[in-house]
Structure 1
Amino acid sequence: MEQMSRRNLLKKTLWGSASLVGLSAMTPLYVHASMEFKGPKVPDVDAVKVSDHCYYIPALGSSPSPENYGMFSNPGFVVTPKGVVVIDTGSSVQIGEMILRQIKKVTDKPVVMVINTHYHGDHWLGNHAFVAANQDVKLYSHEAVQKVLKTDGGKFWFDFMQRNTDNKITGTVVTIPNQTLKGGEVFGMGGVTLKVHHFGRMHTESDVAVEVVEDKTIYMGDMVMRRIANMEDGSYKGTIAGLDSVLSLPVNQYIPGHGKHEGKQLILDGKEFMETIYKNTAKYYDEGLSDFEMKPKIMVEPFMKNVASQWSGYQSTLGKFIVVAIKEYEQSMF
């Protein structure tokens, strides 16, 4: 009984510590916590090579679940002469550790930089693993990421992933980025050039994309994807304008935060999806239709019927997208 009490106390302490917001580089907790109370190891997923320096690790599903350990986004990394730059770290310390294992299969160079593309938890909760491996590693993000995670965002995303994976991210500590990006930064990495782009509010107000200039490849985060996901933090008009800006870049390979890498058609389809919803929502709103009345009309639009209907989440989430579009259109009128 005494042994069980100690175990329960440790488990409670680990849970409480992991949920705290504003903590970063919590290496002591990671080192001393009993491994019995750490979630299971995530199976290895081999990295996909996109170009000379660019890789990503494909997601195990389109939404977090116990079966995929919360591995439902695409962590990426760039191998440069000065070291490895990781772009998004997944939903847990366990996923972060898996990323490190895959990097070692490709190169023996150390991870020198981590960039989180935005504040949704599947793109930064794995930061913990990189700080545990190297306490001096720099964690970069847009300033809005740090602001959100230092309030209630860190706890929200930890709890969300813990709940949806049946506690398989246990042991993960909220580890907030410690370096700020605004967009426009250029990092020279020994002959490999990384350009950071911020186009305003798209999927969130904090989105950054990372262009690897010599490879003509760009990591898009969640600015575009063949997936009907969370739009509540984003903007239709902002996304449409941002994707126009992306199309003007000298890039031919696009790595999304979810789904397979593609050529320019990914951006064109992402833009048309947003335009189809927003323009039709505005039209039907002016005609006095409710969101329920709009949905079947929007679903028979050629692009929706022929392309978007094949995307994950289409049937279950399209209605929420229309509600968000209505709110944005209403706000635009004031």
Structure 2
Amino acid sequence: MTRFTSFCAVAALGTLASAAAASEDIADQYPQSELYSKPVEVIPHVFSAIGATAPPTYENSGHNNNLSFIVTDEGVVVINGGASARLAAALHEEIKTVTDQPVVLVINENGQGHAMLGNSYWVDQGVDILAHVDAIEAFGEDADFIYQGMQRYNRDKAEGTRIVTPNLSFEDEYKLSLGGVEIEVMHMGPAHDPGDTQVWLPQWGMLIAGDIAFHERMLPIFEGICTSCWIETWDEKMEPLAPTYVIPGHGHPTNLAQVRRYTRDYLVDLRETIGAHIEEGGDLAGAYYVDQERWRNLDTFEELATKNAGRVFEEMEWE
């Protein structure tokens, strides 16, 4: 049904991947395309174009998250609309080299710009777009701000992009069967962003996890995020699922143990460290400087570590 690229190599990468496998300094890996990297076949029929583990820039065209797709005999399902219409079009061109099947559904994994701003391209192709109700609400509240931010870094590459919200929504789960592939779109619970969405392929043990799971770059803790809720969601929903393969929202495909280490274990460690700081009478100013050295090997550590500590302090101060 599809071509089969080096599955063994990708699987080995997923098993052995560490934070050193990614770098903010790696140049565009696919200069002939607006995509940062060419899609790879992670397991048979499931592809992902791995984005840069760095903030969005003109050089990476805003492709700093993973744009994935599932190929079946009855159509293609795309996960993430992309950061712009041009980036979505570039992904579509790659899909066409893999299969003649049409794209029949796009799933936005959250309400951030690199998940939703490319929706305008897909709508123009007549494709339905699905997202969680909370992600749609969050995007709607900040859409103009998100769009203007993309215009600033993307300049001429923003051409053709307009704000389009999904026409399909769900609350707990959305299931479909396509070409013999069972696809379960789920919202496990509170985690990184309102309406975080995961795509589960039970017959293959594959979880396209979105931003509930990080491993090569430090996860960002946004204002108002409940980190204790994120840990609870992980323990009650992510662990029992026990996926064999995980495509995170950012970084290379890997396994459950790897994302557990750099997501759940990081959150637990930071909360314990901040908790000890509070018990010792520490204040917010001191919280920014708590010891996070064991996580320094993660990309975006310099940008995020102090911010994360401050936000966890603000969360835990009144718990």
Place the TM-score, normalised by the shorter chain, in its bin.
Answer: 0.7 to 0.9
- Alignment partner, residue 6 of structure 2: none
Q: Does 1:253 align with 2:240?
A: no
Among 132, 136, 145, which residue is 2:135 paired with?
145
- Alignment partner, residue 78 of structure 2: 86
Q: CA RMSD in A?
A: 1.9
Give the match's secondary structure for 1:215.
coil
| Kept in 2: contact 1:219–1:256 (CA 8 A) | yes
Once residues 69 and 44 of structure 1 are traced to their aligned partners in structure 2, the CA distance between those partners, rounded to angstroms, is: 7
- Alignment partner, residue 74 of structure 1: 66
Q: Does 1:56 align with 2:52?
A: no
Give the match's secondary structure for 1:50.
strand
Higher helix proportion: 1
- Alignment partner, residue 15 of structure 2: none
Among 202, 206, 231, which residue is 1:240 paired with?
231
Report 1:129-140 matches (<5 A): 129-134=121-126, 137-140=127-130
- Alignment partner, residue 225 of structure 1: 214
| Kept in 1: contact 2:36–2:52 (CA 8 A) | no
Gaps of 5+ in 1: 1-39
Give the AA of the match of 2:134.
A
Once residues 224 and 122 of structure 1 are traced to their aligned partners in structure 2, the CA distance between those partners, rounded to angstroms, is: 16
Gaps of 5+ in 2: 1-31
Give the AA of the match of 2:45.
H
Among 291, 294, 299, which residue is 2:292 paired with?
299
- Alignment partner, residue 316 of structure 2: 329
Residues 44 and 198 of structure 1: CA distance in aligned 2, closer, same or farther (over 3 Å)? closer
- Alignment partner, residue 112 of structure 1: 104
Residues 43 and 59 of structure 1: CA distance in aligned 2, closer, same or farther (over 3 Å)? closer
| Kept in 2: contact 1:203–1:222 (CA 8 A) | yes
Once residues 48 and 36 of structure 2 are traced to their aligned partners in structure 1, the CA distance between those partners, rounded to angstroms, is: 13
| Kept in 2: contact 1:62–1:258 (CA 8 A) | no
| Kept in 2: contact 1:291–1:319 (CA 8 A) | no
Residues 125 and 292 of structure 1: CA distance in aligned 2, closer, same or farther (over 3 Å)? same
Once residues 55 and 243 of structure 2 are traced to their aligned partners in structure 1, the CA distance between those partners, rounded to angstroms, is: 28
How many residues get paired?
A: 284
When the two structures are superposed, what TM-score results if normalisation uses the length of structure 1? 0.80
Give the match's secondary structure for 1:254.
strand
Among 180, 203, 211, which residue is 1:191 paired with?
180
Once residues 55 and 235 of structure 1 are traced to their aligned partners in structure 2, the CA distance between those partners, rounded to angstroms, is: 32
Q: CA deviation at 1:167?
A: 4.9
| Kept in 1: contact 2:242–2:256 (CA 8 A) | no
Once residues 195 and 129 of structure 2 are traced to their aligned partners in structure 1, the CA distance between those partners, rounded to angstroms, is: 15
- Alignment partner, residue 10 of structure 1: none
Once residues 52 and 317 of structure 2 are traced to their aligned partners in structure 1, the CA distance between those partners, rounded to angstroms, is: 37
When the two structures are superposed, what TM-score results if normalisation uses the length of structure 2? 0.83
Among 181, 193, 200, which residue is 1:211 paired with?
200
Q: CA deviation at 1:148?
A: 2.2
- Alignment partner, residue 262 of structure 1: 254
Q: What do residues 123-145 of structure 1 show as CA deviations (whole Å, max 9, x unaligned)? A: 111111111222xx211000012
Give the AA of the match of 1:179.
L
| Kept in 1: contact 2:47–2:68 (CA 8 A) | yes
Q: CA deviation at 1:279?
A: 2.0
| More off after superposition, 230-239 vs 187-196 | 230-239
Give the match's secondary structure for 1:310.
coil
Percent identity reads 25
Once residues 56 and 83 of structure 1 are traced to their aligned partners in structure 2, the CA distance between those partners, rounded to angstroms, is: 16
Give the match's secondary structure for 1:165.
helix
Once residues 287 and 177 of structure 2 are traced to their aligned partners in structure 1, the CA distance between those partners, rounded to angstroms, is: 49
- Alignment partner, residue 120 of structure 2: 128
